[in-house]
Structure 1
C-alpha cells in the first residue's frame, strides 16, 4: 500500500526535477535567442514549432517521440549503441516526455521577461565593457528573474502532471516509469479509489502551492 502510493510520488518528483534542469537551461538559451533575434519568417516558424507541444494532444507528442527516439530512428540507434538499450520505457523516456511538454511554458515566460527589459540598460552595460556572456548572466537574468522563476515553476508543475506522452513513450512500469498521473489512472481502473484519492490530493496540493507562488511573484 505504502509503496503503491509513495513510489509514484517519488518518481514523479525525480522526473520533474530532472526535466526542470533541461527546461531551465534550454529555456534560457532559446528564449534569449528568440527575444533578441531579428523578427523573420524563419524565427517565427522555429518558435511556433517549439510551442506546438502546448497545443498538440499528448498522444500526438508521444507518437512523435516514439518516431524520433525509436529503434528504427537514427537517434534511437545511436542511443541503443551507446547505452546498450533503447530509451523507450525507461526513466529517461519519462524525463524527455516531461521536458518536451513543459518546455513551451518556460520558453514563453523567458521570452516575455527578456523582451520587457529596457534595451538602454543592456546597451549601458556593453558600453561599460561587459561582453555578451557577462551581460546575460549579470544583467539580463536578474532583470528577467521574476519571469524566469515563474516559467520554471509552471514548467515543473506541468512536468509533474504529464500523462499522455509519458504513458506512450515511457510506459507505466511500477517503480521505473509509473508517475502520479499514470498511477491514478491504474488505481481508478482497478477500483483502488483510496489510493487514487491520496495521489489526487497530493497533486492538487503541490500544484496549488506552485501556482500560488507564481501569483505572488507577479
Structure 2
C-alpha cells in the first residue's frame, strides 16, 4: 500500500471483492451446512459423534492451520489440485476462488450448528403426521421442515456471510494478497498496518465494521 491520498477505486477494490467472495461463499456454505445438518439430525449412525466433531473443527483450529491444509490439498502438487487445473485450466490457489474456498471451510461450523439447532427445534410430531399422510421425505423437508426452521436457516445464512467477510488467516495462505485480484478487506487492512499507512487501515476498518454491524442488526431482528 503506497497510496497516501484517498482514492475511491483503491478503496472499493477490496471492499467489492470481499462482498463478492462472501456472497458466493455464503451461498455455497449454506447449501452444504443445511444438507449436513439435515442428515445429521435425521439419523443416528456409527461415527456420528466423530463426524459432528470434524464438522466443528474449523471453529477451534487456528485459521493458518486450515489454510495450510487447504493449500496442500488444492495446490498444484496435490491430485485434487491437478484435477481442478485440468478441468478449469488453472489452479484455484492465489485466485479469488481460493478465497471462496477458505471462507466456506471457516464459515461451515457456524452455518452447520445454527441450521442443526433449527432442525432440532422442529416438532417431530408434525413431520411424522405428514409422513403418515403419505408425504415423501423430500416433501416433508421442503414443506414442513424448511418453513418451520426458516428463522434459524436465515440466521445461519447471514452468520455464514459475516464469517466469510471477516476471514483472514486461511484466505491469506490460499488466495494470497494480490491487489485487484485476491486482496480482501482483512488482508488489505493487514498490509496497510504493516506498511504504516494507518489512514487506509481505518478506511477499510470502518467499512467492514459498518457492513458487519448491518448484517448483525438483521440477525438480531430475526432472532428477537
Q: What band does the TM-score fall into relative to the shorter chain?
A: over 0.9
**Residue aligning to 1:114:** 119
* 1:209 matches 2:219: no
Residue in structure 2 matched with residue 45 of structure 1 by the alignment: 50
Tell me by how many angstroms 1:43 deviates: 1.0
Q: Compute the TM-score of the two structures, normalised by the length of structure 1.
A: 0.96
* Equivalent-residue separation in structure 2 for 1:9 and 1:87 (angstroms): 21
Other-structure match for 2:160: 155
User: Contact between 1:36 and 1:115, CA under 8 Å: does it hold in 2?
Assistant: no
Q: Deviations over 1:51-99 (max 9, x none)?
A: 1111110100000001111112111110111122221101110000000
> Helix, strand or coil for the counterpart of 2:16?
helix
- Extract structure 1 runs of 4+ deviating beyond 3 A: none
Other-structure match for 1:11: 17
- Deviation track 1:84-122 (CA, whole Å, cap 9, x = no partner) reads 222110111000000000011010011111011111000
How many Å separate the matches in 1 of 2:110 and 2:137?
25
Give how far 1:41 is off. Answer: 4.6
Is this contact kept in 2: 1:9–1:180, CA < 8 A? Answer: yes
Distance 2:182 2:109 in 1: 23
Q: Structure 1: 5+ residue runs without aligned partners? A: none
Indicate the residue corresponding to 1:56 in structure 2. 61
Which 10-residue stretch deviates more, 157-166 or 180-189? 180-189
Q: 1:78 aligns with which of 72, 77, 83?
A: 83
Q: 2:191 aligns with which of 174, 181, 186?
A: 186
Query: How many residue pairs end up in the alignment?
Result: 217
Shift of 1:211: 1.5
Instruction: Judge which range, 150-159 or 194-203, deviates more.
Output: 194-203
**In 2, are the aligned partners of 1:12 and 1:160 still within 8 Å (CA)?**
yes
Match of 1:30 in 2: 36
Gaps of 5+ in 2: 1-6
Give TM-score scaled by structure 2 length: 0.94
CA contact under 8 A between 1:12 and 1:180: conserved in structure 2? yes
Equivalent residue, structure 1, for 2:71: 66
Which stretch of structure 1 is more off in the superposition, 49-58 or 126-135? Answer: 126-135
